[in-house]
């Protein structure tokens, strides 16, 4: 979705280069247009346009702007095509209020109509512009800007994170949040706000995560927060947290892309995750609650959904239970089903995916308990859940989830093992063995990358010439093949579909012809059945590539991506890295930017 940044620097400073830097850090949230606004000599000056940051900054002359207080925006279009007019910031009629916004104003047509009938002139097709005019409309006489802003907020329906400049109060940036993420960053001589922490991580690691219904303002030295519905001010210092992320973690550090860096970071992320989770009281508590739950539901989207499906498999294996796993945008299905005695596991690396948040809220409202698994401390989903577990993978900037997937899978395996113990399905000795195996996940990934990168690079050259591919597996490998297919689809724009291998005979095989790419993710104990499926594909001319940890040669395959041998619940660490690398190198071969796949945004905060 869109990315917002605001910087209130000390008088005389120039925040424009920092705004541009922050926008570059936010580009992964959306990137069809970009803009900034500063207050200069009591006037608001805006520069904006459609295109990527570097290009828009050059063409529209960002470096010519100077100001010590400013806001910036990188857009992922919802209302109105990407264009110079639709790029943020948006202004009111007099050009005294500038707004940047992430989210959707659902009642914007109605508001726009009403404002137009009162003489307000709109220049864009966006829902955002109504905010500027609405606040302008509410500004009356000597009243403070906050009063008008508060009244305007009460009229907005939808999800939003907004930052506003007001020419008459040039030292302040006003903000509000409802269902879209917004974080404040505090430092000794300047204050920041942004959609996501990496935007200001170069300058501070002291953050306050805003909650729904909060509004306020920052200057270079002050922070004010209140709940606009109750009018009560919020004690900001009690919410201040130092986050364990560094600017380096959010930088490319010499890698050509964040995605490659993050694939390579997986051993370190898994190590960190394991260390943190091994003695984590929240994980133990969650396991106890879940082990005694009547039913377990899982809600998640995209890659996190695949982690959820994986959890369902390990849960059966380690705790003898089954989970009902659903794509979180289908959360309505929980209505009338989930209730007291149940637990919903909400998995979201960002902790802000709106559908997953809604699923969690629905479950809570029906008396169920919610366990959150997230990578972002204090984000909406963990904050609203009954109990939160954190993956500790560090910031993930590439749009495609990589290291966060493997750390989710690690955390979920630990959770399933602890549930197994809590329900008497496993004893402590079994759990210890599982933990010992998981401890090696980090080195397994390192060995796998070393062993497979060369062959995968060559394979990518071939896959780049294809339009379609199948990813097949069985058992625990099925969610892994779904994840592999998603990576290839989203980064390399090649149609890739995953199926339980046995299901491929029930229709999908009809597409197979000469040289059709079929990837088989082999699973220990299921090799024979998978070999049968490989043979069926091969017989129809497919090119069959098998990711496998056994040295057993097969007549039915064209290529083996040989990975270290591992038990089934450890195969994410051997089977996923080569598939991530395959997607990455195929995208690069085709000339695409894997960090910024078209039409995608890292955090999906609109339904």
Catalogue the active-site residues: 2, 602
**Total number of residues that touch ligand F6R (CB under 6 A):** 15
The alpha carbon of residue 308 and the mean position of all alpha carbons in its chain are separated, in whole angstroms, by 15
**What does the DSSP 8-state code read for residue 380?**
H
33 or 348, CB closer to ligand F6R?
Answer: 348
327 or 364, CB closer to ligand F6R?
Answer: 327
Q: Please name which of 414, 420, 441, 384 lies closest in space to residue 576, comparing C-alpha atoms.
A: 441
> Rule CB under 6 A: is residue 304 a binding residue for ligand F6R?
yes
- Judged on CB neighbours under 10 Å (0-12, 13-18, 19+), 217 is buried
Q: Which residue among 68, 220, 349, 407 contacts ligand F6R (CB under 6 A)?
A: 349
Q: Judged by CB under 6 A, which stretch of 17-25, 32-40, 298-306, 418-426 contacts ligand F6R?
A: 298-306
Q: Which residue among 419, 476, 492, 604 contacts ligand F6R (CB under 6 A)?
A: 604
148 or 482, CB closer to ligand F6R?
Answer: 482
Which residue sits closest to ligand F6R, CB atoms considered?
302
For residue 488, the minimal CB distance to ligand F6R (Å) is 11
Beta strands in 369-463 (DSSP E): 369-374, 387-390
For residue 30, the minimal CB distance to ligand F6R (Å) is 13
CB 324, CB 296: distance < 8 Å: yes
342 or 483, CB closer to ligand F6R?
Answer: 483
> Rule CB under 6 A: is residue 605 a binding residue for ligand F6R?
no
For residue 23, the minimal CB distance to ligand F6R (Å) is 21
> Rule CB under 6 A: is residue 33 a binding residue for ligand F6R?
no
CB 4, CB 163: distance < 8 Å: yes
348 or 452, CB closer to ligand F6R?
Answer: 348
The alpha carbon of residue 536 and the mean position of all alpha carbons in its chain are separated, in whole angstroms, by 38
* Locus of tokens 């197979």: 512
2-15 core/surface letters (b: 16 or more CB in 10 A; e: else):
bbbbbbbbeeebeb
201 or 299, CB closer to ligand F6R?
Answer: 299
Strand 296-300 versus strand 323-327 pairing type? parallel
Quote the Cα angle for 7-180-140, to 5°: 65
Q: Judged by CB under 6 A, which stretch of 5-13, 299-307, 434-442, 508-516 contacts ligand F6R?
A: 299-307
CA distance 496 to 487: 9
Looking at the DSSP bridge assignments, the partners of residue 6 are 71, 193
302 or 517, CB closer to ligand F6R?
Answer: 302
Report the greatest alpha carbon distance in the chain.
84
For residue 227, the minimal CB distance to ligand F6R (Å) is 26
Q: Which residue among 124, 272, 350, 574 contacts ligand F6R (CB under 6 A)?
A: 350
- Judged on CB neighbours under 10 Å (0-12, 13-18, 19+), 90 is buried
For residue 486, the minimal CB distance to ligand F6R (Å) is 6
Q: Which residue among 302, 394, 475, 594 contacts ligand F6R (CB under 6 A)?
A: 302
401 or 476, CB closer to ligand F6R?
Answer: 401
* Locus of tokens 């089977």: 575
- Judged on CB neighbours under 10 Å (0-12, 13-18, 19+), 529 is middle
> Rule CB under 6 A: is residue 102 a binding residue for ligand F6R?
no
Q: How far from 85 is each of 50, 80, 97, 265, 439, CA to CA, in Å? A: 8, 9, 16, 40, 53
For residue 247, the minimal CB distance to ligand F6R (Å) is 22
For residue 561, the minimal CB distance to ligand F6R (Å) is 21
> Rule CB under 6 A: is residue 303 a binding residue for ligand F6R?
yes
> Rule CB under 6 A: is residue 594 a binding residue for ligand F6R?
no
366-392 core/surface letters (b: 16 or more CB in 10 A; e: else):
bebbbbbbbbbbbbbbbbbbbbbbbbb
What are residue 390's phi and psi, to 5 degrees? -115, 140
Q: Judged by CB under 6 A, which stretch of 183-191, 345-353, 459-467, 541-549 contacts ligand F6R?
A: 345-353
> Rule CB under 6 A: is residue 401 a binding residue for ligand F6R?
yes
Q: Which residue among 353, 473, 504, 574 contacts ligand F6R (CB under 6 A)?
A: 353
Which residues 484-503 are close enough to bind ligand F6R by CB under 6 A? 486, 490
CB 512, CB 280: distance < 8 Å: no
Q: Which residue among 348, 481, 574, 605 contacts ligand F6R (CB under 6 A)?
A: 348
For residue 579, the minimal CB distance to ligand F6R (Å) is 12
349 or 473, CB closer to ligand F6R?
Answer: 349
CA distance 186 to 188: 7
Binding site for ligand F6R (CB under 6 A): 301-304, 348-350, 353, 356, 400-401, 486, 490, 603-604
């Amino acid at each position: 979705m869109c990315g917002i940044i605001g910087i209130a620097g000390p008088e005389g400073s120039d925040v424009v280069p920092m705004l541009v830097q922050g926008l570059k850090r936010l580009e992964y949230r959306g990137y069809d247009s970009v803009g900034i606004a500063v207050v200069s000599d009591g006037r608001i000056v805006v520069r904006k346009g459609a295109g990527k940051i570097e290009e828009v900054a050059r063409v529209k002359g960002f470096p010519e702007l100077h100001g010590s207080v400013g806001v910036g925006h990188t857009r992922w279009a919802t209302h109105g095509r990407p264009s110079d007019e639709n790029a943020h910031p948006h202004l009111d009629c007099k050009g005294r209020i500038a707004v940047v916004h992430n989210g959707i104003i659902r009642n914007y047509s109605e508001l726009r109509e009403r404002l137009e009938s009162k003489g307000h002139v709109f220049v864009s097709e966006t829902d955002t512009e109504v905010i500027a005019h609405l606040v302008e409309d509410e500004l009356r006489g000597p009243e403070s800007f906050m009063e008008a802003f508060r009244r305007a907020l009460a009229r907005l329906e939808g999800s939003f994170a907004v930052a506003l400049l007001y020419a008459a109060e040039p030292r302040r940036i006003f903000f509000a949040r409802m269902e879209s993420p917004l974080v404040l960053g505090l430092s000794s001589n300047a204050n920041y706000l942004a959609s996501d922490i990496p935007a200001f991580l170069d300058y501070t690691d002291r953050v306050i995560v805003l909650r729904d219904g909060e509004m306020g303002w920052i200057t270079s030295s002050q922070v004010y927060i209140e709940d606009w519905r109750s009018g009560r001010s919020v004690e900001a210092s009690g919410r201040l947290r130092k986050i364990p992320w560094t600017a380096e973690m959010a930088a490319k550090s010499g890698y050509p892309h964040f995605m490659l860096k993050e694939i390579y970071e997986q051993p370190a992320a898994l190590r960190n995750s394991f260390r943190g989770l091994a003695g984590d009281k929240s994980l133990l508590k969650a396991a106890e609650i879940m082990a005694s739950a009547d039913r377990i539901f899982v809600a998640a989207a995209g890659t996190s959904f695949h982690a959820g499906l994986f959890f369902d498999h390990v849960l059966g294996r380690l705790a003898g239970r089954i989970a009902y796993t659903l794509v979180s945008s289908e959360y309505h299905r929980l209505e009338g089903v989930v209730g007291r005695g149940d637990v919903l596991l909400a998995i979201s690396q960002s902790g802000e995916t709106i559908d997953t948040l809604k699923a969690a809220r629905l479950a809570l409202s029906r008396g169920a308990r919610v366990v959150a698994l997230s990578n972002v401390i204090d984000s909406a989903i963990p904050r609203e859940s009954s109990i939160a577990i954190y993956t500790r993978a560090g910031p993930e900037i590439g749009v495609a989830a990589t290291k966060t997937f493997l750390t989710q899978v690690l955390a979920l395996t630990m959770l399933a093992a602890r549930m197994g113990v809590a329900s008497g399905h496993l004893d402590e000795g079994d759990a210890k063995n599982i933990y010992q195996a998981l401890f090696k996940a980090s080195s397994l990934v390192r060995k796998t990358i070393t062993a497979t990168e060369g062959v995968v690079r060559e394979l990518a050259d071939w896959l780049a010439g294809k339009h379609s591919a199948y990813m097949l597996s069985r058992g625990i490998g099925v969610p892994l093949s779904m994840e592999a297919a998603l990576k290839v689809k989203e980064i390399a724009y090649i149609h890739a579909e995953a199926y339980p291998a046995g299901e491929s005979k029930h229709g999908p095989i009809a597409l197979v012809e000469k040289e059709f790419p079929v990837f088989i993710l082999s699973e220990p104990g299921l090799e024979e059945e998978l070999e049968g499926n490989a043979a069926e594909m091969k017989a129809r001319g497919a090119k069959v590539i098998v990711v496998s940890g056994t040295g057993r040669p097969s007549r039915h395959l064209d290529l083996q991506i040989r990975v270290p041998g591992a038990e089934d619940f450890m195969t994410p660490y051997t089977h996923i890295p080569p598939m991530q690398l395959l997607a990455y190198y195929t995208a690069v071969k085709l000339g695409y930017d894997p960090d910024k796949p078209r039409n995608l945004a890292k955090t999906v905060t609109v339904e």
